[in-house]
Structure 1
């Protein structure tokens, strides 16, 4: 299934020499990053701890129904206003914070995207993310709708990291045994859960973490090509 998604010949390394046969990658905190400057400015002005809006919005109580696809992204965003009003004791301040959070711009990390593109020439790359029903639109806005061989969204499959089932679903979509998958995530709990399933896993904090994890595959292929 993976090979059918690629046009033209693919330089396949010897399977026995590959350190892994599929890359499973998180989205937010690895590929996508948000501009939180306005949100932080408002939180300082309102004497809230920096990050208070995100902590509330992404709390289990508010976020999990959206992540599991039980409610739409729009319904989740609507739930922020009463929660922020309770936090700030001001409907006006709550509205400003909600608008800053929802309207924050985002960018895709160019270094990470370039690394993923290199890997896709060798093994399938699967996006595995705890996402809302808006994921497809978000990928399109960032020009990433065709950047992955498969997309496993928690809102679409009804299960979220760190539940082992989402890792198994992702490996199945990649067509690779779980033990032959490399999983990358910025949340340590998700990384540890992947390891428990039997995957190789990397805790992402900066692009160099990903580059080092991919080096055995990318450098190995470069060496093989230069020797042939």
Structure 2
């Protein structure tokens, strides 16, 4: 693979590899007369979810914060039920993306760079992905979250290369922009074809053939 454009792939987890089913939560919101997405809007406000992503609070404490933020809209017990429905939402891995990344790992270091909770390792194991990446950089473990440059720098060091030799994949434009600012090549992920196109250099240079996605 001489002449390859990158020496490592840095990849986000949620909404690239892992996807959640929030239909049960939406049903509870409708039953309470709330607009669909209300709970997530509250839960993912920076002052509510950043402590979780930095490993400073537990998931149960996050539920408490969500319930508190929803107080006044629904009864307290129902607010906790909504928070719990979010944290317990079932999730799955996208098989097409996993297949691509497993084949890439045969040729290049693969590092997951994710804003995650202290339960990430358990979640990866439950999806059969404990061995997917060479390294996992979790915000909850390193104490810094995307798009802070420090988490990217940690990931680059673990990949054993320099930023200019990294391909970075994420579903959030602001995270991609931060990576590009550091010299990486960024891919704004929307569907598996985005990843397949970015990784063509691997499969076009003697890599294994893969199913088109």
TM-score band by shorter chain is: over 0.9
**Further displaced range: 125-134 or 46-55:** 46-55
Say which of 91, 109, 126 aligns to 2:94: 109
Partner of 1:211: 196
CA RMSD of aligned residues (A): 1.4
Report if aligned partners of 1:84, 1:98 keep a CA contact under 8 Å in 2: no
Report if aligned partners of 1:69, 1:133 keep a CA contact under 8 Å in 2: yes
- How far did 1:103 drift? 1.5
Instruction: Please list the CA deviations of residues 46-93 of structure 1 after superposition, one character each: whole Å capped at 9, or x if unmatched.
Output: 23222111111111011001111222233223322222233x231243
> Following superposition, which runs of at least 4 residues in structure 1 exceed 6 angstroms of deviation?
none
Length, aligned pairs only: 208
CA distance 1:222–1:138, change in 2 (3 Å): closer
Bigger radius of gyration among the two: 1
Partner of 2:211: none
Instruction: Please list the CA deviations of residues 14-53 of structure 1 after superposition, one character each: whole Å capped at 9, or x if unmatched.
Output: 2xx1121100000111010011111111222223222111
Tell whether 2:186 aligns with 1:186. no
Higher relative helix content: 1
TM-score w.r.t. the length of structure 2 is: 0.93
- How far did 1:222 drift? 4.2
Report if aligned partners of 1:191, 1:203 keep a CA contact under 8 Å in 2: yes
Say which of 110, 115, 134 aligns to 2:119: 134
Report if aligned partners of 2:59, 2:87 keep a CA contact under 8 Å in 1: no
TM-score w.r.t. the length of structure 1 is: 0.87
In structure 2, what is the Cα distance between the partners aligned to 1:59 and 1:84?
12
Which secondary structure state, in structure 2, belongs to the residue aligned with residue 221 of structure 1? coil
CA distance 1:84–1:209, change in 2 (3 Å): same
Gaps in structure 2 of 5+ consecutive residues = 209-213
Tell whether 2:66 aligns with 1:80. yes
Partner of 1:29: 15
Say which of 53, 63, 78 aligns to 1:93: 78
